[in-house]
């Protein structure tokens, strides 16, 4: 079968995660892995591609119906690894406004709200169930957060978030779930609510991540784009592709690096190579983009 989401970054597996390293290139593949990727040429039919696109929201909503909030680990690394969340304050007591785009059940925002009392968080997702989970969290309070349902590729964020009002936008394992042809619409959308000088913090699957290599023929939807058994999709980013789509929408690249890790599943005695892409982009103060 194709990879299960349970090997994804942050899932609640019996894992030990050793130190991570940053590298300018994705990992080198073995001959066996190269052969396997080369053999994966079968693409699914146009009918199935369209159906998956039409049912993307339903499939993520069903994911949360099955897994509730129990799937992803709380992402406590967000503040540790994205120092900009604090560093972009001009003065210490400044309230930061954050948007978590594709927030899921809130595993990224609630640790942040606990750690930093001086932030306001907008959180959106296109799964209504995920948004409900966020609203039901005991840490959710309207004075400090506003969660709403939204398809980042279609629904104008300005309906819920004032234009140019957000200091930091986090995109954590969400752009990979969007069809590559629609990623630029999502980036245009977030750009409108980001302040000039504001920052986008990105972390997602990198090219040749273990999850990509586990997909079988029949799961390939396009270049570096795959479908899981539950109908949710995943793109695996090269740093060049990511920089290009951000820069095309008027962002400037600050950092853009592969992060290599080894995930050890103690229960199964497996050690698997993970590749993530961690990047920061800024919206220039003087910009032609709307």
Ligand X SMILES: C[S@@+](CC[C@H](N)C(=O)[O-])C[C@H]1O[C@@H](n2cnc3c(N)ncnc32)[C@H](O)[C@@H]1O
Query: Phi first, then psi: what are they for 19, rounded to 5°?
Result: -45, 145
Cα–Cα distance, 18 to 21 (Å, whole number): 10
Considering the rule CB under 6 A, would residue 125 count as an interface residue with ligand X?
yes
For ligand X, which residue of 127, 188, 219, 263 counts as binding (CB under 6 A)?
127
Instruction: Output b/e per residue, 232-241; b: 16+ Cβ within 10 A.
Output: bbbbbbbbeb
Cα–Cα distance, 202 to 243 (Å, whole number): 11
CB nearer ligand X, residue 109 or residue 213: 109
CB nearer ligand X, residue 29 or residue 62: 62
For ligand X, which residue of 3, 67, 85, 107 counts as binding (CB under 6 A)?
107
Nearest approach in angstroms of CB 97 to ligand X is: 18
Nearest approach in angstroms of CB 110 to ligand X is: 10
Considering the rule CB under 6 A, would residue 53 count as an interface residue with ligand X?
no
Considering the rule CB under 6 A, would residue 126 count as an interface residue with ligand X?
yes
Place of tokens 């120092």: 83
For ligand X, which residue of 82, 110, 122, 173 counts as binding (CB under 6 A)?
173
Cα–Cα distance, 75 to 240 (Å, whole number): 26
Three-class secondary structure of residue 140 per DSSP: coil
Nearest approach in angstroms of CB 82 to ligand X is: 13
Considering the rule CB under 6 A, would residue 133 count as an interface residue with ligand X?
no
- DSSP assignment letter at 208: T
CB nearer ligand X, residue 74 or residue 84: 74
Residues whose CB falls within 8 Å of the CB of residue 78, separated by 6 or more in sequence, listed in order: 85, 108, 111, 112, 170, 172, 201
For ligand X, which residue of 151, 230, 257, 262 counts as binding (CB under 6 A)?
151
CB nearer ligand X, residue 155 or residue 257: 155
Nearest approach in angstroms of CB 134 to ligand X is: 10
Cβ atoms of residues 102 and 186 within 8 Å: no
Nearest approach in angstroms of CB 90 to ligand X is: 27
**Around Cβ 156, how many Cβ atoms within 10 Å?**
13
Considering the rule CB under 6 A, would residue 153 count as an interface residue with ligand X?
yes
Nearest approach in angstroms of CB 30 to ligand X is: 27
Cβ atoms of residues 208 and 236 within 8 Å: yes
Tell me the residue number closest to ligand X, measured at CB: 104
x/- string (CB under 6 A) for ligand X, residues 54-73?
------x-----------x-
**Rama region for 145: left / alpha / beta (φ>0; ψ in -120 to 50; rest):** beta
Query: Phi first, then psi: what are they for 5, rounded to 5°?
Result: -60, -20
Considering the rule CB under 6 A, would residue 258 count as an interface residue with ligand X?
no
Cα–Cα distance, 102 to 126 (Å, whole number): 7
Give the interface segment with ligand X, choosing from 96-104, 193-201, 241-249, 279-287 (CB under 6 A): 96-104
- DSSP assignment letter at 251: -
For ligand X, which residue of 177, 194, 211, 260 counts as binding (CB under 6 A)?
177
Considering the rule CB under 6 A, would residue 167 count as an interface residue with ligand X?
no
Q: What angle is formed at CA 101 by the lines to CA 63 and CA 258, rounded to 5 degrees?
A: 90
Binding site for ligand X (CB under 6 A): 60, 72, 75, 102-104, 107-108, 125-127, 130, 150-153, 172-174, 177-178
């Amino acid at each position: 079968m194709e990879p299960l989401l349970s090997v994804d970054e942050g899932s609640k597996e019996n894992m030990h995660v050793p130190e991570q390293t940053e590298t300018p290139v994705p990992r080198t593949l073995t001959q066996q892995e190269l052969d396997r990727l080369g053999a994966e040429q079968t693409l699914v039919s146009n009918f199935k591609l369209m159906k998956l696109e039409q049912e993307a929201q339903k499939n993520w909503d069903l994911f949360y119906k099955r897994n509730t909030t129990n799937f992803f680990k709380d992402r406590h690394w967000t503040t540790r690894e994205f120092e900009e969340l604090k560093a972009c304050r001009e003065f210490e007591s400044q309230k930061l406004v954050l948007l978590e785009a594709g927030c899921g059940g809130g595993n990224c925002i609630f640790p942040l709200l606990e750690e930093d009392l001086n932030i306001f968080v907008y959180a959106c997702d296109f799964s209504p169930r995920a948004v409900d989970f966020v609203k039901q969290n005991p840490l959710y309070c309207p004075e400090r957060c506003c969660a709403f349902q939204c398809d980042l590729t279609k629904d104008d964020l300005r309906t819920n978030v004032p234009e140019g009002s957000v200091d930091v936008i986090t995109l954590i394992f969400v752009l990979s779930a969007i069809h590559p042809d629609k990623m630029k619409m999502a980036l245009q959308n977030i750009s409108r609510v980001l302040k000039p000088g504001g920052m986008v913090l990105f972390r997602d699957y990198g090219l040749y991540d273990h999850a990509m290599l586990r997909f079988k023929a029949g799961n390939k939807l396009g270049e570096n784009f795959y479908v899981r058994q539950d109908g949710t999709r995943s793109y695996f980013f090269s740093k060049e592709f990511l920089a290009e789509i951000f820069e095309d929408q008027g962002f400037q690249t600050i950092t853009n690096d592969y992060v290599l890790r080894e995930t050890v599943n103690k229960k199964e005695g497996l050690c698997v190579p993970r590749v993530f892409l961690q990047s920061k982009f800024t919206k220039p103060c003087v910009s032609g983009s709307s």
